[in-house]
Amino acid sequence: MDTTQSIRQQILVVGSSNTDMVIKAAHLPRPGETILGGTFFMNPGGKGANQAVAIARLGGPVTFICKTGSDIFGHQSQQLFEEEGINTSYIFSDSEHPSGVALITVDEKAENCIVVASGANANLMPSDLARAEEAIEQADLVLMQLEIPMETVCYVADLAWEKGKKVILNPAPAHPLSAELLRRLYLITPNETEAEMISGVKITDESSACEAARVLSGMGVQNVIITLGSKGALIYCDGKSEIVPAWKVEAVDTTAAGDVFNGALTVALSEWRDLKEAARFACKASAISVTRVGAQSSAPYRNEVDIFG
């Protein structure tokens, strides 16, 4: 590795910040059903925030752009980000909308269902990002999700692409994507559901996952990684696909598994690792996270991932 590649690249996360309100229950409720659940707890969450925290704990130099309400949840979030070592210079406060919240139910099998009230996240607009152009200029890798307005995602992708930055999109929650946005992406990281929606290919096995990745690549994305839960991740690059297997663990809570995966993946890429090495590192971090309860609280630290497996 030459001296230029020994320098870790700068990471920018643009996304959501929520407070997660979680109840553990025997099973997920059906429509009209009331369940007497068990433990209740509140955790900081939101896909953008989860990924930023995961990056910081794994040693990545990260700046986070989000919008929170001018309320106790927003103030607490900013304080926690600063304690994690995240650059919070471009976090915007919204006096008109409350901070985002997510209501989460987790069953005995560690599966979950989530309802999100976006609040200030839905008011993170291109005009805000225009005031944070310096953050995009200073970044090498830009990671986004879809819990903020699509127009903002497209604005950042366009600006980052014009500046020669690598744009990584975790297309969650699932949402149709424009051809122009897809052409701006260095990497897209859908799960199976999201890959089906974007590609139109129903995923039932490794072969159909590979076909979905091929279709996504044909839509203009440079690289594709489809996360497959307990089966690992499928990498599609230069017309070739490969499965990176997951580590076998006993899952307790899968709430932030995808966010930890994306954060760890971006850290590994910032360290000049190739996609396969980065996916292996991300699978390890994600495996650790599902053995713990909570979103940001489940994100592992670097030394834990380095010694895992």
Q: In the structure, what pLDDT confidence band is assigned to residue 109 with cuts at 50, 70 and 90?
A: confident
The pLDDT, as a whole number, for residue 280 is 97
Residue 256 scores a pLDDT above 60: yes
Q: In the structure, what pLDDT confidence band is assigned to residue 268 with cuts at 50, 70 and 90?
A: very high
Q: Binding residue per annotation — 254?
A: no
* Percentage of the chain modeled with pLDDT above 90: 82
The DSSP code sequence of 186-217 is: SEE--BHHHHHHHH-PPP-SHHHHHHHHHHHH
Domain count, the chain: 1
Q: Is 38 among the domain residues?
A: no
Residue among 52, 22, 20, 19 at smallest CA distance from 37: 22
Q: Is 110 among the domain residues?
A: no
The pLDDT, as a whole number, for residue 2 is 42
For range 172-181, the mean pLDDT: 94
Q: Binding residue per annotation — 34?
A: no
3-state secondary structure at position 264: helix
Q: Binding residue per annotation — 255?
A: yes
Q: Is 31 among the domain residues?
A: no
For range 235-243, the mean pLDDT: 96
Give the catalytic positions in this structure. 259
The pLDDT, as a whole number, for residue 115 is 87
User: What is the average pLDDT score of the chain?
Assistant: 94
Q: Is 103 among the domain residues?
A: no
Q: Is 27 among the domain residues?
A: no
Q: Is 37 among the domain residues?
A: no
CATH of the domain at 220: 3.40.1190.20
For range 31-56, the mean pLDDT: 92
Residue 117 scores a pLDDT above 90: yes
Q: Domain residues for 77?
A: 9-16+46-96+122-307
The pLDDT, as a whole number, for residue 100 is 97
The pLDDT, as a whole number, for residue 4 is 41
Q: Is 179 among the domain residues?
A: yes
52 Cβ partners below 8 Å, 6+ apart? 13, 15, 62, 64, 81, 84, 86, 263
Note the pLDDT tens digit of each residue in 182-214.
Answer: 999 999 999 999 999 999 999 999 999 999 999
Distances (CA, A) of 204 to 227, 228, 273: 13, 11, 30
Residue 6 scores a pLDDT above 80: no
Q: Is 187 among the domain residues?
A: yes
Q: Binding residue per annotation — 248?
A: no
- The rounded distance, in Å, linking the Cα atoms of 257 and 250 is 13
The pLDDT, as a whole number, for residue 3 is 36
Residue 10 scores a pLDDT above 70: yes
What is the crossing angle of helices 72-84 and 47-57, to 10°? 20
Alpha helices in the chain (DSSP H): 47-57, 72-84, 126-130, 133-138, 150-162, 179-183, 192-199, 206-218, 257-270, 275-289, 302-307
Q: Binding residue per annotation — 253?
A: yes
